[in-house]
């Protein structure tokens, strides 16, 4: 290779070198949240506190393996994840530094945070999303789809659209079902869903909703914020999709609708613990909670806040019953659930 290229590489490398930055007011954030609207959340924090946010967003698995490898050298201060099973996994692997904060303990309900030890609490939930059923208003009666169990009922044969069973949102739902119904019944249930499918699982939740609206299927499973986004869209095509489908919060008369939690905690090796806690406390503030509700169509965790998201309101008619379940159990069921999926051919 020509020597000229080496100097060019050296030059370019110099351009890539991180600029030395003042160590003062900064929070280093590893986030698995993938929502562009979160930018407003971060700038709100900087405006309120003067603390700058440095951020890497990736997927949950990437963040966990990165933290494990970095060990004590990790620059991360705060870790945000978007799935209960992952939060549990990170807690078990000791990736969080338990903290004590009066503000957080008052704001976040006990079932939406880790069990407190003597050192404190490992992670806190900041927003939730419900996993609901949507159906074609023209061809399906609401009574036929108002429980998760009915997704597997032969009366719904050939109607169901659902994303891959191995996606964390489904794994968490199925893991919760194991808690409610026991493993044998859950496997039966999964098998029933496979034989009810209108097509083999592909795409994301939004694709499933569109599948119902276009008539490819009649029933689909989705997280609420995808549906809320379609409902609030300014795009007429998307609005029409939302108008064609009905939504039902399943199992209102039994154990309640499955709810997943997004949250986070202070990273194990944080060097700015005080700032990290301030950031977490900010996430529980009315301003940030309102952002979760309005900016990203999630439910805030802090009780008593006025919810003024029209789509979420329209969906529930005010309130709904959510399941009360041990999050660690859902995490622990994950492998079992995947093996059931493999056995019954749920892709």
Residues that bind another protein (CB under 8 A): 1-2, 5-6, 8-9, 12-13, 15-18, 28, 34-37, 39, 54-59, 61-63, 65-66, 68-75, 89, 164, 166, 171, 199-207, 210-211, 213-216, 226, 233-235, 237, 241, 334-335, 338-339, 342-343, 347
We find the least distance from the C-beta atom of residue 15 to another protein, in angstroms, to be: 6
- Residue 107 vs 337, nearer CB to another protein: 337
Closest by CA position to 310, among listed 302, 301, 318: 318
* CB closer to another protein out of 42 and 255: 42
Could you tell me if 132 and 146 are in contact, meaning their C-beta atoms sit under 8 angstroms apart?
no
Given the complex with another protein, which of 126 and 255 has the nearer CB atom?
126
Helix axes 168-181, 84-92, angle to 10 degrees: 90
Comparing CB distances to another protein, the nearer of 145 and 230 is: 230
Q: In the complex, what is the shortest distance from the CB of residue 181 to another protein, in angstroms, rounded to a whole number?
A: 21
CB nearer to another protein: give 194 or 241: 241
Shorter beta-carbon distance to another protein: residue 71 or 303: 71
Kindly tell me which of 16 and 324 has the beta carbon lying closer to another protein.
16
Report the nearest approach of another protein to the CB of residue 163 (Å): 9
CA 50 remoteness from chain centre: 28
**Shortest Å distance, C-beta 243 to another protein:** 14
Give the span between the Cα atoms of 76 and 54, in whole angstroms.
9
Minimum gap (Å) between residue 257 Cβ and another protein: 21
Smallest distance from another protein to CB 139, Å: 12
Rounded CA-CA distance 165/104 in Å is 34
What tokens appear for 329 in the block? 């159990």
Closest separation in Å from C-beta 202 to another protein: 3
Residue among 89 and 278 whose Cβ is closer to another protein: 89
Q: How far is the CB of 306 from another protein (least distance, A)?
A: 26
């Amino acid at each position: 290779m020509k020597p000229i290229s080496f100097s060019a590489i050296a030059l370019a490398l110099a351009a890539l070198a991180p600029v030395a930055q003042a160590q003062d007011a900064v929070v280093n954030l590893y986030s698995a949240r993938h929502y562009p609207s979160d930018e407003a959340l971060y700038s709100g924090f900087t405006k309120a506190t003067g603390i700058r946010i440095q951020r890497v967003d990736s997927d949950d698995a990437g963040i966990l393996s990165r933290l494990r490898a970095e060990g004590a050298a990790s620059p991360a201060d705060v870790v945000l994840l978007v799935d209960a099973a992952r939060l549990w996994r990170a807690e078990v692997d000791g990736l969080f530094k338990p903290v004590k904060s009066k503000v957080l303990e008052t704001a976040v309900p006990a079932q939406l945070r880790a069990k407190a030890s003597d050192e404190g609490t490992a992670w806190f939930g900041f927003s939730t999303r419900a996993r609901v059923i949507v159906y074609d208003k023209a061809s399906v009666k609401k009574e036929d789809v108002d429980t998760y169990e009915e997704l597997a009922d032969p009366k719904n044969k050939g109607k169901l659209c659902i994303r891959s069973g191995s996606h964390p949102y489904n794994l968490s739902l199925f893991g919760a079902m194991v808690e409610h119904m026991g493993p044998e019944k859950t496997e039966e249930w999964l098998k029933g869903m496979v034989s009810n499918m209108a097509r083999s699982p592909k795409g994301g939740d939004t694709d499933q909703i569109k599948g119902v609206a276009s008539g490819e299927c009649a029933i689909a499973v989705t997280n609420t914020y995808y549906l809320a986004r379609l409902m609030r869209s300014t795009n007429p095509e998307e609005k029409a999709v939302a108008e064609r489908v009905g939504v039902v919060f399943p199992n209102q008369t039994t154990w309640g609708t499955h709810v997943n939690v997004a949250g986070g905690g202070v990273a194990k090796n944080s060097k700015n613990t005080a700032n990290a806690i301030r950031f977490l406390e900010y996430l529980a503030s009315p301003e940030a909670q309102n952002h979760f509700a309005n900016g990203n169509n999630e439910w805030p965790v802090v009780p008593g806040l006025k919810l003024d998201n029209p789509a979420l309101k329209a969906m529930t008619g005010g309130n709904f019953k959510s399941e009360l379940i041990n999050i660690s159990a859902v995490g622990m069921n994950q492998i079992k659930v995947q093996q059931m999926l493999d056995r019954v051919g749920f892709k």
